[in-house]
Amino acid sequence: MNKIGTVVNTKKTIEENKFHIKKKYGQNFLTDQFILNKITDIPQITNETLVVEIGPGIGSMTEILLNKAKKVLAYEIDKDLIPILNNNFKNQNLILINDDILKRNIDEDIEAIDNSFDKIVLIANLPYYITTAIVMKILEESNLISELVIMMQYEVAMRFTSKPSTKDYNSLSIVIQFKTKSKIAMKVPKSVFIPIPNVDSAVVHMKIKEKYDLEPDNLELFYKIVKKSFTQRRKTLVNNIAAAFNLPKSQIIDILVELGHSETVRGEKLSVSEFVELSNIFNREIF
């Protein structure tokens, strides 16, 4: 098996297989071996770990993961990459699924492997157009994955990890920080990808919280309030929530005052715990 992961061999693999990079899948292959190694070092993988990899591409990172982990469960949507991966990795520790990750039940796929692991980590290099949908699917649906190491566009990483009262803070920031302990682990320049994208990337490391700092009484209501609070960012929290839930503004103002905020406060001013408190008051007094 030819070792892959460098610029020369990545190009060679693409050329030898007459593979055409597809814009519709947002394909940008990471080629820098040093960066690939740094990314796989982030979650402290052992030979008892299962790694779930989304979008292995030609397998530059997959090769490193197979050397570290007990097994790798890889999802690749592009059927043209499957023969390349199968040729590069004749390895019984690789479970390769040719499907759209958004259509899969990840926990069922993991349980079908029928093995015991010390932990289950997800690693992915995600295109911009699908990053949020995939991350939210994992956070909302999986009870088995304990860590996520996700490469994404830098501006998206900023939103994932932003703090209240900043321009990047939004409903996604709140849900991510409610469910996980997140940080930008490293920035990745656009020059180390084939083809070169328009912007730099960043790797976000997310550890699923075993216990929430403050528990919502109604998780579905919490998510809904968070989402509706940013429907129109320039509007006040009162106006957004009143419109979303068809409630009198005076009732919402009273709740915000109870939380120590004015009636003109906007969603980006509230912390994660304050949104939990807000949803709990709604659940207790209104619904």
Q: How far is the C-alpha of 114 from the C-alpha of 120, rounded, in Å?
A: 13
pLDDT the model gives residue 19: 76
Domain with CATH 3.40.50.150 in the chain: 7-208
What's the token pair of residue 6?
A: 């460098």
**What digits encode the pLDDT tens for the residues 218-261?**
999 999 999 999 999 889 999 999 999 999 999 999 999 989 99
Stretch 114-126: mean pLDDT: 93
Identity at 125, one-letter amino acid code: N
Domain with CATH 1.10.8.100 in the chain: 219-285
What is the CATH number assigned to the segment(s) 7-208? 3.40.50.150
What's the token pair of residue 246?
A: 């068809």
Q: How far is the C-alpha of 245 from the C-alpha of 201, rounded, in Å?
A: 37
**What digits encode the pLDDT tens for the residues 138-158?**
998 999 999 999 999 999 999
Instruction: Find all residues with CB under 8 Å of 210, minimum gap 6, and list them.
Output: none
If one counts every other C-beta atom within 10 angstroms of the C-beta of residue 140, the result is 11
pLDDT at residue 79 tops 60: yes
Q: What fold characterizes domain 219-285? A: Helicase, Ruva Protein; domain 3 (1.10.8)
If one counts every other C-beta atom within 10 angstroms of the C-beta of residue 212, the result is 13
pLDDT at residue 4 tops 50: no
- DSSP class of residue 262 equals -
pTM of the entire predicted model? 0.86
pLDDT the model gives residue 12: 75
**What digits encode the pLDDT tens for the residues 16-41?**
777 777 777 777 888 888 999 999 99
If one counts every other C-beta atom within 10 angstroms of the C-beta of residue 282, the result is 22
pLDDT at residue 77 tops 60: yes
